[in-house]
Structure 1
Amino acid sequence: GNLLSWKSRGSKDLLFRVCIVSAIASALFTNDTCCVVLTEFILKVARQNNLPPQPFLLALATSSNIGSAATPIGNPQNLVIAVESGISFGQFLLGVFPAMIVGVLTNAAILLCYFWKYLSVEKDQEGGQPAGPEVVADDEVTSHRFTPARMSHVSSLNPDDMDCISEPIIRSNSVRSTSANENLRSRSVNSEADIQLAIKSLRASSMSHEMVEVSTVTDRRDEGASSRKFTRTASQQRSVIIEDSPPSPASNGDKEKEDEVAEKRWRVFVWKTAVYLITLGMLIALLMGLNMSWTAITAALVLLALDFTDAQACLEKVSYSLLIFFCGMFITVDGFNKTGIPNTLWELVEPYSRIDSAKGVALLAVVILILSNVASNVPTVLLLGTRVAASAAAISHDSERKAWLILAWVSTVAGNLTLLGSAANLIVCEQARRAQFFGYNLSFWSHLRFGVPSTIVVTAIGLLIVTSY
């Protein structure tokens, strides 16, 4: 999220970043997870910059689907292909990753061309001014208002102290209110005794450590000398108060808050480092050919252990209904296979869809595209996987691996054709609609107008790269 908005140079730069970041993240953490995490953040960034949300939401959904095609852990259908074909993580990555990079760049270029006019509009022309400065200014004004906390030193003094401090001031005010021609009567005030009394009361008080300054008014004839003497005495007493007074509770509280902030930052740093290292270790283990399921589970368990919190919160986020849905779907597809209908349909298409010719690859891609949007991509892989592989195996062993990679690429990119073609599309649409402050409705037709040309172009370019592997 921080990478998307860091030193962004404008709307087009932000759109390109969304495409790249979502593609890479979906290849590592699945396209559905990427869409769940980034949708609301992208909406927030778009609203704050007065940008239309539609191109950024489409960039997230389409780039997540394209990026997830690069690895066996990017989406469910790729995992099914990796398990049934026996293709290692490294071979899968080498076969599809170049097509994924070119596909993401092509998709980003189409997005920029399609929404160039919308992304070129200046902020001032699109809507109101940002509300940030006004909010900050209001907060600053509020922070300078008087509060009881700022006047705590008044209530912390004893009544006797207040009498000692206020009595000379009250008397001086009464003298000043009389006639100017009346002579002032000299008064002798034992200022040193008053100051000592104030010092004792301040030391006994744990609520306030404010300095006390007493001013007296004497006769005009002795005003100069007595005021200089009093100033020296008061300054000496203030130095004694500052030296002898214990540290204030406010300073201790600030120090504790600083320690808490530093400790929190350290924990966040350690946690982020652990996540990066564990993710890197998981990728290395997958590239070494270790079992993908056990590797992913082990990495998840290590993160749960390092979190030092109850795992109940994580277990509550598991979508058990989705797991049951996949179990039921596998059972249904297997039952449909046993009816013989898929075999009959495949026998009609198979002679014209062999991957040893460009026409055969094109026809196979069209079949996968249509079936993926009608029956979803995972059932399509379950229905066509073994049949496509058997047809390609009759040509050569390398053709069999290539057929699996073609199936992975086309069935994944096919999700961009319509809004209903991929679960990631539906997640982006639903998350955007339910966003609390930045809600946006991504309609079926707005997705279709961009999805059709983008899917056709990206699929065709990717097929050229995959078939040349």
Structure 2
Amino acid sequence: MFEIIIASIIFISTYIFIISEKIDRTAISFLGASFLLLFGILTEEEALHFIDFNTIGLLVGMMIIVNILKTTGLFQYIAIKSAKISKGDPLKIMIIFCFITAILSAFLDNVTTVLLIAPVTLVITDTLKLNPIPFLVPQILSSNIGGTATLIGDPPNIMIGSAANIGFLDFILNTGPISLIILIITVYLFKFMYKNQLIVDEDVKKKIFEFDEKLALKDKNLLIKCLSILSLVVIGLMTHQYVGFESSSVALIGASIMMVISKANVEEVLHSIEWTTIFFFMFLFILVGGLEKVGVINHIAEIIVSFASDNLFLASIVLIWTAAILSSFLDNIPFVATMIPLIERISLLSDINVMPLWWALSLGACLGGNGSLIGASANVIVAGILKKNNHELSFIEYFKVGFPLMILSIILSTIYLMIFYI
């Protein structure tokens, strides 16, 4: 009983500090994990055992691949070329950029995508003398929607895929279709929401053609090599279940080959990895592992089993909406890290088909990030970029747009779950 109380206090206290953001989330999760060792809840071996190194490896591998690829200037090239294809029409630029953001977020990750696309968007909006917010708010939502579609698009999916042995193709076939539907509807609504703010003179539109997208490509030979390796990595991720490889192995092998072929500065590449995020994941796994060892996860799972065995439909609906609302205002990663062992335990304690629960968790956690300005890392990053460029995106301004569209996306996802899985 003592261990249950201590583990629960450590977990809840850590979670409260993560939510409050008064202390760096990596630092406080490190402290919480350390207390589990200090009080003897976990041994060092047990702590390492609870870390999902497949998730960690996949994150590190994809971070290396993306950081090398972005040095080629490919993403700037795509953005400028797209602006030219739209012939400087702001509405068309907004729509095209939304789809580019969503596609890149599905195959890279949403944070990296907005870091690459947002600065180019600001250059284009500055040229057109337009407010960048009607361009960047749609990009925020598109990045989170696109990230929902694949295994590697959003960290919660990486965690879910690793825990439930759900592969790249599984995500594309299950979360991909509804993500595409939500994206199309969302962009269509943005067309009406911002159309009065996306008007410029014909003379101003012509300035877009002054950009030379070819100058953005810094190393064409490296670009060809990187794209070839990235293609093989994507193929590997799509087939890893059938050839006996972990997804992390595919990503790390691809990253190692890209580092050698590109002759990149290893120190710079390793420095570009978001190590604070990586360690945050590791400490979270340990914290949840503490709850799992003392039996808290098992006890909660038993309660849910007794409820879900009678009504899997209601359990799935409650999960997707809970995940969405919480992920709008809290970091979705701790929530998903807590729910994963719960769903795993439910599958062991009963004959319930837990796949609807996995998809409900994925859709709720990923799409819920669109609900507020602090709902996902991509949102916070874009707001920071805007502020640095003397444009303020307030919490309320974003909330008025993002929260209703998030609710719409969850309604659509709920209908999708009801039709195909429940």
**So what's the TM-score if we normalise by structure 1?**
0.63
Give me the identity figure in percent: 22
**Residue 129 to residue 366, structure 1, CA distance change in 2 (3 Å):** closer
**Residue 47 to residue 363, structure 1, CA distance change in 2 (3 Å):** same
Specify the SS of the correspondent of 1:368: helix
**Residue 353 to residue 95, structure 1, CA distance change in 2 (3 Å):** same
Whole-angstrom CA distance in 2 between matches of 1:267 and 1:448? 39
Residue number in structure 2 paired with 1:412? 366
Spell out the pairing of 1:71-150 with structure 2 (5 A cutoff).
71-119=150-198, 121-123=199-201
Deviation for aligned residue 1:6: 2.8
Residue number in structure 2 paired with 1:305? 260
**Residue 59 to residue 84, structure 1, CA distance change in 2 (3 Å):** same
Whole-angstrom CA distance in 1 between matches of 2:216 and 2:172? 36
- Please identify the structure whose Cα radius of gyration is greater: 1
- Once the two structures are superposed, residues 97-133 of structure 1 have per-residue CA deviations (whole angstroms, 9 ceiling, x without a partner) of 10111111122122222222222x3348xxx979979
Spell out the pairing of 1:380-391 with structure 2 (5 A cutoff).
380-388=335-343, 390-391=345-346
The aligned amino acid for 1:454 is L
Deviation for aligned residue 1:466: 4.4
Deviation for aligned residue 1:42: 1.1
Residue number in structure 1 paired with 2:401? 450
Q: Are the aligned partners of 1:355 and 1:392 in contact in 2 as well (CA < 8 Å)?
A: no
Counterpart check, 1:5 vs 2:83: yes
Spell out the pairing of 1:220-369 with structure 2 (5 A cutoff).
268-289=219-240, 290-335=245-290, 359-369=314-324
Whole-angstrom CA distance in 1 between matches of 2:411 and 2:397? 22
**Residue 305 to residue 50, structure 1, CA distance change in 2 (3 Å):** same
Deviation for aligned residue 1:377: 0.9
- Once the two structures are superposed, residues 195-224 of structure 1 have per-residue CA deviations (whole angstroms, 9 ceiling, x without a partner) of xxxxxxxxxxxxxxxxxxxxxxxxxxxxxx
Q: Are the aligned partners of 1:354 and 1:360 in contact in 2 as well (CA < 8 Å)?
A: no
Whole-angstrom CA distance in 1 between matches of 2:310 and 2:324? 16
Whole-angstrom CA distance in 1 between matches of 2:144 and 2:261? 31
**Residue 320 to residue 393, structure 1, CA distance change in 2 (3 Å):** closer
User: How large is the Cα RMSD of the aligned pairs?
Assistant: 3.3
Specify the SS of the correspondent of 2:378: helix
Deviation for aligned residue 1:374: 4.8
Whole-angstrom CA distance in 1 between matches of 2:194 and 2:302? 43
Spell out the pairing of 1:153-172 with structure 2 (5 A cutoff).
none
Whole-angstrom CA distance in 2 between matches of 1:287 and 1:390? 27
Q: Are the aligned partners of 2:383 and 2:393 in contact in 1 as well (CA < 8 Å)?
A: yes
Whole-angstrom CA distance in 2 between matches of 1:368 and 1:312? 38
Whole-angstrom CA distance in 1 between matches of 2:310 and 2:396? 33
Whole-angstrom CA distance in 1 between matches of 2:113 and 2:216? 25
Specify the SS of the correspondent of 1:72: coil
Specify the SS of the correspondent of 1:57: helix
Q: Are the aligned partners of 1:32 and 1:427 in contact in 2 as well (CA < 8 Å)?
A: yes
1:403 to 357, 382, 405: 357
Specify the SS of the correspondent of 2:115: helix
Residue number in structure 1 paired with 2:332? 377
Q: Are the aligned partners of 1:31 and 1:74 in contact in 2 as well (CA < 8 Å)?
A: yes
- Once the two structures are superposed, residues 120-173 of structure 1 have per-residue CA deviations (whole angstroms, 9 ceiling, x without a partner) of x3348xxx979979x9xxxxxxxxxxxxxxxxxxxxxxxxxxxxxxxxxxxxxx
Q: Are the aligned partners of 2:151 and 2:158 in contact in 1 as well (CA < 8 Å)?
A: yes
Deviation for aligned residue 1:382: 1.5
Question: Which consecutive unaligned segments of at least 5 residues does structure 2 have?
Answer: 1-78
Deviation for aligned residue 1:321: 2.6
Residue number in structure 1 paired with 2:141? 62
Q: Are the aligned partners of 2:302 and 2:349 in contact in 1 as well (CA < 8 Å)?
A: no
Whole-angstrom CA distance in 2 between matches of 1:401 and 1:332? 25
* Structure with greater helix share of residues: 2
- Once the two structures are superposed, residues 367-399 of structure 1 have per-residue CA deviations (whole angstroms, 9 ceiling, x without a partner) of 1123324542111112122324554777866x3
Q: Are the aligned partners of 2:91 and 2:191 in contact in 1 as well (CA < 8 Å)?
A: yes
**Residue 11 to residue 47, structure 1, CA distance change in 2 (3 Å):** same
Whole-angstrom CA distance in 2 between matches of 1:265 and 1:456? 38
Residue number in structure 1 paired with 2:377? 423
Q: Are the aligned partners of 2:114 and 2:382 in contact in 1 as well (CA < 8 Å)?
A: yes
Spell out the pairing of 1:39-54 with structure 2 (5 A cutoff).
39-54=118-133
Deviation for aligned residue 1:31: 0.8
**Residue 350 to residue 419, structure 1, CA distance change in 2 (3 Å):** farther
Number of residue pairs matched? 333
Whole-angstrom CA distance in 2 between matches of 1:355 and 1:418? 34
**Residue 395 to residue 45, structure 1, CA distance change in 2 (3 Å):** farther
The aligned amino acid for 1:12 is L
Question: Which consecutive unaligned segments of at least 5 residues does structure 1 have?
Answer: 136-261
Deviation for aligned residue 1:350: 6.6
Deviation for aligned residue 1:414: 0.6
**Residue 450 to residue 417, structure 1, CA distance change in 2 (3 Å):** same
The aligned amino acid for 1:46 is T
Q: Are the aligned partners of 1:337 and 1:383 in contact in 2 as well (CA < 8 Å)?
A: no
Residue number in structure 1 paired with 2:56? none
- Once the two structures are superposed, residues 9-44 of structure 1 have per-residue CA deviations (whole angstroms, 9 ceiling, x without a partner) of 512211111211111101111111111111111111
Whole-angstrom CA distance in 1 between matches of 2:192 and 2:91? 10
Q: Are the aligned partners of 1:416 and 1:422 in contact in 2 as well (CA < 8 Å)?
A: yes
**Residue 320 to residue 129, structure 1, CA distance change in 2 (3 Å):** same
Residue number in structure 1 paired with 2:23? none
Whole-angstrom CA distance in 2 between matches of 1:78 and 1:89? 10
Residue number in structure 2 paired with 1:142? none
Deviation for aligned residue 1:327: 2.6
Specify the SS of the correspondent of 2:407: helix
Q: Are the aligned partners of 1:355 and 1:361 in contact in 2 as well (CA < 8 Å)?
A: no
Counterpart check, 1:433 vs 2:377: no
